[in-house]
Structure formats: C-alpha cells, structure tokens
Amino acid sequence: MAVTSATDKEWFDFMHPMENAAGLKFDKNYELEFHMQIGSKLYPEYPIRSLANTFSELKKSVGILGSNFHSVSITPKQYRNDHFIIGIDTEAAIGASFTGKSLKSGDLLSVRVKPMVPTTVTSAMMPKQVHIVLHADVVLEVSDAGVSVFE
C-alpha cells in the first residue's frame, strides 16, 4: 500500500493476492496455502488451502466457530482483499485452557506460505512481511518475594 495521507498507514491493510483478481472478485487461481509448524508439530495438520478454510480457522482461533451470536466484522470482499487475517488455534481441545503446545523447550516457530498457482500469483504479489501475535495461558504467582511465571 502506498501511503497517500497522514491517516493511511501500512498496518491498516492486510492484503491478500486476491486483491489482484479482475474486478476484485473471487478467483481460485489467487489462493494461498498456509502451514504453521512449532517444533515438529504442524498446525493445522493439513495445510489451509482456501479463503473459506482460512476464515473458518480464524473463527475457531477466537472461539466463535459454532456461534450463532458472535462473528467478526469483516465482509467477504474485505477479507479476500485488504482485511486478510490468519488465526491458527494450537489448543488440543477447543476453548479449553492449558491444552495448547508447550513452548518451554524453545521450539522453533515456522510459517510457510506459498501460492496455489505459482504462474498466477507472482513473487510481487506475495506477502513481504508477516505480523505474528502469540496468545498464551500461564499461571502467575505473586508473592512478597516477587513474581513467578509458570507454564
């Protein structure tokens, strides 16, 4: 995104290559494939290969996948163009605290992104940077001697 005014910031838009599709319509040739790996474990087990699957994983990661009352306020057009967010849940049981992957051993986090049709999605359309946010459940002990963090 080119910054054109003081209110335009590069972190306001999360572009997907689908933004380059003709007429800003859905085109399966612009799909991306995602995988996240922590240590030797893949999340999800099989790669995410569509916008619908990516949106479903996002809703699952914020705990509203099966909710009739809660949703994210992103339209399908916004999601496939400039509001593209990936959410990956690492919990063993959805919504259950302390069932996620332990990172105490210092496992490496890897994110793999590749185009489904490399001839359509060129390197110029691929993401140049990724913003990663990790959310963790921890036990915090506060005492007169200080603070201890337990995983």
The sign of the torsion formed by the CA atoms of 56, 58, 59, 65 equals positive
pTM over 0.85: no
Is the separation of the CB atoms in 39 and 108 below 8 Å? yes
Phi and psi torsions of 77, nearest 5°: -65, -45
Return the pLDDT at 2. 56
Residue found under tokens 């259950």: 96
DSSP per-residue letters across the chain = ----STT--GGG-B--GGGGSGGG---GGG-EEEEEEETTEEEEEEEE-SHHHHHHHHHHHTT-TT-SS---S--HHHHHHTB--------SSTT-TT-S---TT-PPEEEEEEESSTTTS-GGGS-S----------EEEEETTEEEEE-
| pLDDT digits 0-9 by tens, 5-61 | 667 767 677 888 888 888 778 889 999 999 999 989 999 999 999 999 998 888 888
Residue 151 has pLDDT above 80, yes or no: no
Return the pLDDT at 48. 93
Return the pLDDT at 67. 76
Residue 4 has pLDDT above 70, yes or no: no
| pLDDT digits 0-9 by tens, 81-129 | 888 888 888 888 777 777 877 777 888 989 999 999 999 999 888 888 8
